[in-house]
Copies of this chain bind each other. A is one copy, B any other.
Amino acid sequence: MTGKGSLSTVETLFAEFVDGIQHGRFVPGQRLVEADLCQEFGISRGPLRETIRRLAAEGLVEIQHNRGARIKRMSREELVHLYEVREVIEGLAARMAAERATPGERDEIAAVLAAMETAIAARDHLGYADLNIRFHALLVSAAHNPTLEQIYQRLQTPTMRRQFRSLLETGAMLRSLEEHRVIIAAILAGDPLAAEAGMREHLQQSGTLIARHEAEASLSEPL
């Protein structure tokens, strides 16, 4: 496990974990036993511990002294708090995107909207969920503010799975699409305030929707 080209083991592992958490290969609350993971990934404890430390710093896992690490559980209350923050962060992103997006980025955004409409028409929930993630990421990147992007990623990661679940209803998809339309129209028109307002509205809707889903699903399974 020596040569890694140009990427460090820790970065690779980190990405692996993030992906695993997003795709449900690691479930919230799951213990991360060092010995097991070392064997599973074929590495030694050093880099593994560094990776866990990094995950903890990003808020994806929780470390308890002398008790090891476990995938972080997010309570409904925390979810509410998170969406409060996302609202202003992505609101800012939308505003900046309306001001600073390049023509190419505007084209991309418009293309995503078109793809979303196609996905909805085809009742392709999975595809729509992907486009949804791409849409938000696109806006953030079009804001041309790396700091914002960093914060966004930190807030986004732990909720992706939940977002997907709540979009399983067609009704939710339709409402979501409508909100996206408003935001995109504002951005393409170069109207920062409308873009920000639209995004805030959108996240308020999404937030309450997901929180409600959580409440319903909280008993059936501990996701």
Q: Which residues of A come within 8 Å of B, CB atoms?
A: 6-8, 10, 46, 49-51, 53-54, 56-59, 65, 78, 81-82, 84-85, 87-89, 91-92, 96, 145-148, 150-151, 154-155
Contact = CB atoms under 8 A, between A and B. Distances in A.
Tell me the number of copies of this protein: 2
A84 B78 contact: no
Given A6-B65, A49-B50, A65-B8, A151 B85 contact: yes
A85 B7 contact: no
A94 to B, nearest CB: 11
Top 4 A-B residue pairs of the complex, sorted by shortest distance between their CB atoms: A57-B57, A88-B88, A81-B147, A81-B145
A65 B150 CA distance: 20
Contacts of A150: 59
A34 B92 CA distance: 39
Contacts of A54: 53-54, 56-57
Nearest to A6: B65
B148 A151 contact: no
Point out which of A8, A84, A89, A147 has the most chain B C-beta atoms below 10 A from its C-beta: A147
Contacts of A154: 151
13 contacts: A7-B65, A49-B50, A51-B53, A53-B54, A54-B56, A57-B57, A59-B150, A82-B147, A84-B147, A84-B148, A85-B92, A85-B151, A88-B88
